[in-house]
Structure 1
Amino acid sequence: MEPTAETKETPAQRFGELVADLASRIGLDLSPGTGNRILFAERTGMSHSAVTRMLNGRTLPHPAQFESIAREVRCDVRDLFVAAGTISEDAWPKQDEPQALTPYGAVQALGITDPLIRHMLMSGIELALRMQNEAATLPT
């Protein structure tokens, strides 16, 4: 796949970076050696090697897998189709859907202004997300 004129990135590179960024935002570390890539592969119906190639920006997954990928990284599947270059931004107008709530967004939405309480709440949420993701990688 050829790089686009605007970004000099290939669609596969944009796609891999987007998935890694979205996963990171929800506390899912897809770095090599964490075990999360294997779990991600199982949950999306991809092979471990396909997940690795996708995250490294070497290949795009099959479009039939976009929906399960979007579910795992909690994004609109439209964003994956746009990143892959399958559709343009204008081909599928973005809906006014609420975005995934971040720890920062939670304290903002709750109107918490005290810096110490904000820090404690955000840290607690981030810890809970990490613990949940670590528990998901443990063998059953």
Structure 2
Amino acid sequence: MRSMEDPPHGDTREGRQAVARRVGAYLTKAATAAGFDVRQRAGGRAQLAVLLDVSLTTVSRTLEGKTLPMPSQLTSWASVLGLDHQQLLFESGLIPSESDPDAPNADVASPTLTPEAAMDAWEITDPKIRTMLAGNIRQARELQQETDAADRGATARG
């Protein structure tokens, strides 16, 4: 859990607080939809704390928008709440969606760049994150191939 008192270099405290509030609101909604009663003293927060292997205080402060979960905890939140990890990141506002015109868009250095080489270049070292990202890349490539095949079929028919 990260405190709002010491924002990381380059972030404003107000900006981090806004993100924490968005994430808290999103996770509260997702937890409620997953069947957890997250009102104070209702028991759902304690259940989440056990399932997430974090303290009740951590869960409460996260849901109340006072702190952000650590990146390593986001996978646990997604798993416990039955969410797609990438969807959690986009919908909570932790990372911009691809349609966001202000989203950074760094070009890939080579069309034959492997996912592993890209993750190395981006300094992604956590095995769980690497596995998730490699799976997302694989899924994106399959979807692109399906889209390309459908486009070729539409062009041939039209």
Q: What residue is the counterpart of 2:53 in the other structure? A: 45
Q: What residue is the counterpart of 1:2 in the other structure? A: 14
Runs of 4 or more above 6 Å deviation: none
Per-residue CA deviation, residues 47-66 of structure 1 (Å, 9 max, x unaligned), is 11011100110100101011
RMSD: 2.6
Distance in 1 (CA, whole Å) between partners of 2:53 and 2:29 is 20
Q: What residue is the counterpart of 2:112 in the other structure? A: none
The higher radius of gyration belongs to: 2
Alignment size in residue pairs: 90
- Aligned counterparts, 1:63-78, within 5 A: 63-78=71-86
Q: What residue is the counterpart of 1:19 in the other structure? A: 27
Distance in 2 (CA, whole Å) between partners of 1:84 and 1:44 is 21
Contact 1:60/1:84 (<8 A) preserved: no
Per-residue CA deviation, residues 48-101 of structure 1 (Å, 9 max, x unaligned), is 10111001101001010111101121111113323252x2212798x79xxxxx
Contact 1:45/1:65 (<8 A) preserved: no
Give aligned-pair identity as a percent. Answer: 30
Contact 1:12/1:84 (<8 A) preserved: no
Question: Relative contact order (alpha carbons < 8 A, sep ≥ 6): 1 or 2 greater?
Answer: 1
Which ranges of structure 1 fall in alignment gaps of 5 or more residues? 97-140
Distance in 1 (CA, whole Å) between partners of 2:93 and 2:55 is 19
